Amino acid sequence: MAWKTLDEMDLNGKRVLTRVDINVPMKDGVVTDATRIERIKPTIDSIFAAGGTPVLLAHYDRPKGKVVPEMSLRHIVSKLEEVLGRSVTFVETLDAADVAAAAEGSIVLIENTRFHPGEEKNDPALAAEFAALGDIFCNDAFSAAHRAHASTEGLAHLLPACAGRNMEAELKALEAALGQPQRPVVAVVGGAKVSTKLDLLSNLIEKVDYLVIGGGMANTFLAAQGINVGKSLCEHDLTGTAKEIMDKASGAGCEIVLPEDVVVSWEFAANAKNETVANDACPADAMILDAGPAAVAKIVSVFEQSKTLIWNGPLGAFEIEPFNAATNAAAKAAADLTKDGKLVSIAGGGDTVSALNQAGAADDFTYISTAGGAFLEWMEGKTLPGVAALG
């Protein structure tokens, strides 16, 4: 789809209403991870370089349309100033005069959009109030693009609209992954439950050449083949669905890759006693907590045959050693292939970012999305309202 970038807009002397995601983790009033703030810096710098003034719209947490003081964006002003290298004028109201009064060269930050009951209802009146604060709308919050809210979807119809640098990078990466990818394409889908990723699996088998299934999800697929998975996390009521997915994949020319060996243990604890066994040899009183070395070797060989990788979810219980071994080894292999220019690698959603960071592989992936739900819905083939409104 066609959407404009900042480079196609005349920003000189304009107030640029910029929807950002600065919903950062905090503890005791201190920002503990500023990644999302760092991601908006290229957009802010571009707006200033073009002679514009960024007026930031953002949500924080879930105040559900009420003013909740501990969820005020006031708490992150100092971190914004530190990371962005500019002064920030914090504005609590939707009064255009307060925005206009901000010092020249400073960033304007409007209070939490979700303090307004009309935000999550995509209320046209609230969107119009937002629109009155600026001349141009720039959406840089891909992570909120799957929600049709007043500050994402509604506002885009009221002002000349474009994508910010972060949104632009996300959309280009996603287009490279599933829009017009270099083939063969491999997708890694891990995590606990098949039930949360049915739409994702159904969409991917039509679009990829290999589908690697890991984590607790793999147990459900193994059980669907009549394999006893002992006390492993497994959705036995979905084995029929897993069979259907395997049949559809076969018809679509998509090879599903399941672990041929597994690491089992008798307790879910760090450094618990464990054994590596064939996938059909899990003891009745044990549980599968990771993929084994033969499974990893197979996955790596698939990576080596592929040109594009999409990764969502870990291959095992990566939070505790030694059950992070498969995720770490596969992630490292993908990172090395990417570094060597042999693989385009896109990852995102849920635990994926922390798993790849833990593996020391994230920096070498082509693109890591911090978007969570929006990344997943895009992978599921769904239309994202915040993106569609920019077209």
Known catalytic residues are: 36, 193, 350, 373
Residue whose C-alpha is closest to residue 292's, from 276, 305, 304: 276
| 114 labelled ligand-binding | yes
Q: Give, for 223, the enclosing helix (H) or strand (E).
A: helix 215-224
Q: Hey, is 343 helix, strand or coil?
A: coil
CA distance 232 to 289: 8
Torsions phi, psi for 385 (to 5 deg): -55, -40
CA distance 98 to 102: 7
CA dist 19 → 56, 100, 257, 376 (Å): 6, 18, 40, 20
CA distance 52 to 94: 19
| 147 labelled ligand-binding | yes
CB contact at 8 A, 352 and 111: no
Q: Give, for 126, the enclosing helix (H) or strand (E).
A: helix 124-131
| 319 labelled ligand-binding | yes
Q: Hey, is 214 helix, strand or coil?
A: coil
| 367 labelled ligand-binding | no
| 210 labelled ligand-binding | no
Q: Hey, is 110 helix, strand or coil?
A: strand
| 86 labelled ligand-binding | no
| 39 labelled ligand-binding | no
| 351 labelled ligand-binding | yes
| 85 labelled ligand-binding | no
CB contact at 8 A, 165 and 214: no
| 247 labelled ligand-binding | no
| 23 labelled ligand-binding | yes
| 381 labelled ligand-binding | no
Q: In what order do the strands lie in the sheet with 274-278?
A: 274-278, 261-265, 287-291
> Using CB atoms within 10 A of its CB, is residue 92 exposed (0-12), middle (13-18) or buried (19+)?
middle
| 21 labelled ligand-binding | yes
Using only the alpha carbons of the chain, give its radius of gyration.
23
| 61 labelled ligand-binding | yes
CA distance 92 to 29: 19
| 380 labelled ligand-binding | no
CA distance 351 to 365: 16
| 352 labelled ligand-binding | yes
Annotation: binding site for (2R)-3-phosphoglycerate:
36, 114, 147
Annotation: binding site:
21-23, 36, 59-62, 114, 147, 197, 319, 349-352
Annotation: binding site for ATP:
197, 319, 349-352
Annotation: binding site for substrate:
21-23, 36, 59-62, 114, 147
